[in-house]
Amino acid sequence: MSEKTDRLLSQGLNAGFAGGTDMRSDERGGFKIKSSHFDNEDGTYHDEWIADRTGGGQEIVVAEGVTYTRVYAGGTITLEALAEMGISVGDVMASLKKNIIEGGEKTRLFSDYCPEVQGDWQYSYTILEEVPNIPLTLGKEVIKYHGVVVFIHDFLITPVE
């Protein structure tokens, strides 16, 4: 991927999930989904997902004539388990948004990103596998609360050729 593509994935995610663009409700293949869209001088970013406590989605970027997709799935532990810990899905999402914004191009791409523990919360993004001849990258995002895993997202990143 190019620097522009990396930057566009990060900027689009920040603008959508972290709150800069309008999220829309759409329908795809008869399924109700959410989406966000972002354009800038680097290219176009589009994200579609179906999720509540768990779920997944797909981001697509086009920069410099090259298309990449990042597919993701996962979510939080059960609502009951969160309640026993005294937290909610909203608390977990707030921690996730904070780390996405602060991490910028360091997270959800092609290298590990494990910032210092922030109070009760710990975030990590780890590359699990890289297959250069495909090319395909598999990553895992984990949030822990008091050392207990409360959220996981797995990611696949590949060009569309």
pLDDT of res. 20: 64
- 6 three-state secondary structure: helix
DSSP code, position 45:
E
pLDDT of res. 13: 81
- 16 three-state secondary structure: helix
CA distance 155 to 128: 10
CA distance 146 to 70: 29
pLDDT of res. 1: 66
Provide block-wise average pLDDT over 10 residues at a time, the chain (161 residues).
Answer: 80 76 84 92 93 94 93 98 97 93 87 92 97 96 98 96 91
CA distance 151 to 104: 19
